[in-house]
Structure 1
Amino acid sequence: MAYRYRKTKPDPPVSVERLARGIASGDRAALARAITLAESDRPDHFRLAQELLQRVGDRTGNTLRIGITGVPGAGKSTFIETFGMKLCALGKKVAVLAVDPSSALSKGSIMGDKTRMANLAKHPNAFIRPSATGGHLGGVHRKTRESILLCEAAGYDVILVETVGVGQNETAVRTMVDCFLLLAITGAGDELQGMKKGLMELVDIVLVHKADGDNKEKALETKKELDRIFRFLKPATEGWQVRVLPCSSLTGEGIGDVIDLVFRFERETKKSGIFAERRRKQTKDWLYSAIADQLQNAFFRDGRIREVLPETERDVMSGKLPVSAAAEKLLAIFLESRL
């Protein structure tokens, strides 16, 4: 039997005005399309995304941005679902930007967060967006900042950024959230050895997760040990001493305390001015990050660079040309082509 294949239709033109209206009305489908546009590497999509961000810019900024990371097996997704459901029950609109590790082959998302947070995904006041890191360091997608702004423009009160938990590279998350939570697990000795000091110096709140059943006593011991350690570390947020809380997503015990502490952090840092100062610094950091991204994109799209790069790579790999000399040669070609 012969099969007839139909030609696929070209993508319909993107209407920035329609997307902006949809976002303003809280249309989750419009928000999802807008984030897809912002994440695209196509130059025309980049320009459209920037136009969209300018259109909705006056609706952004009035949120609490929370980063959530954790050691392997800490139960980040389970916690986020329980935490998010309780926030929704309090009348908050919650957006989750859940960043999955990328497949080394497809560069796509591996874990699929909507299946890991099925109840929260169905809640009318919640929005979950899984995105692959695309190999980007820092445990977040390189366009996470744009996604945060789009979610804010859509009326979400709390933005949760779940990272892949890649250790010291979590510094990227710190540059885009107000409050940073670390999920730990019981077993203080091995647990603390596995937690990088650099990561511990970035967080504002530590949660000893899975504090239930036979594990509860161990969780309390881990809390005591962590309390002692954090007394000797410089806090990530000026004027705020890191708090350690036990909690369980299975029983819900302690989750209310976490919510209270997060909002206490927001109140105190806003009162002291630290909250606003951090936002200003993050905007500056974003500027330099955007410059680096655009320079890199322009470099690899340059026609002359695309011609000479394969030969230069071969010379480097064979040892014929030192890496620094190769980089200098390529940059000189790139700069000459821009004159």
Structure 2
Amino acid sequence: MHSRLSNSSLTLATILLVTLGVAHADPSADKEAAQAAFARAEAAEARRDWRTAIDEYQRAYDLVPHPNALFNIAHDLELLEEYRNAAAFYLRYIDETSDEGERVRVKELVDALRKRSGILSITSVPPGAPVVVDGAEAGETPLNLELSGTHELVVGKAAASVHRTVTIEFGEPQSLHIPLPSEAIDDDAGETARAPADLSRRTANAPRRGPGRIAGLAATATGIVAMGTSLWLGATAKREYDRATDVCGSDLNCTDATDYEFAVARVDAARGRGNVATVVGGLGLAATITGVVLWFSSADERTGAHQEEHSTRFEPQIGPTRVGITATRSF
């Protein structure tokens, strides 16, 4: 990074010389005001307050015009990444300075700022259009490219494509939005673009579960969990009983008092768990049956389609090995 022309003694001396060479009513007042503005500008730069420094340099220049103030303004604008404005002040400095070497050096600074790359954002309707930059494939829209200078763009396919010339300078971003006919994109991309609409239509006509069916699903799931818990409790109850019979036999006939107490405790635990398993299993069965009834007795909700009439008949099934209910639904 180049340095600004910020040596205060040199700059203020130059301002003084210019001031003495200009005839006006009160040169000392302008000189003092310019000196104060320069001092404030340098203080602002020391605390990295570039905007305030620019204002103070401009104030000093308005009082006593000198190209060094323009250079310092350009330098601070560059630090703010306002490259186009910085280049404008560098060009003013080139016009006003008498140093030919400085003109050449600062002209190179301006050229470097102009060549800074920026982001070109390319979008199209529909999306998915191929993008060619200077004859080379660059991707499909939407697309972000980092470019510098002038480039030829082709967006779309064949005769339906759109040609654009873009120039990226001073690191400035640009956006390019291009409406295209559907034939300007790939067939696959077109199908992708049309898919959401087709999906929306299918979704609109799809059946939706009513509150009765949701409740039925919840009840059935609860019943299944309860019956699973019942089976687990039954298994643990059997395990406790087996521990008791391993010690004292099935009739709990033990000669040792400690073994007898252990066996009785295990049998009591098995009996308690077995009772809980029976209750939980019964509740689970009832919940499952209730869920099935709610499911078949509740109709689907449809949007955009005719709701057909359904009828459901429930018949109890009682036999020596099963108890339940049979649901028959007509469509």
- Pick the TM interval, shorter chain: under 0.3
TM-score, with length taken from structure 1: 0.22
TM-score, with length taken from structure 2: 0.22
Structure possessing the higher relative contact order (Cα contacts under 8 Å, 6 or more residues apart) = 1
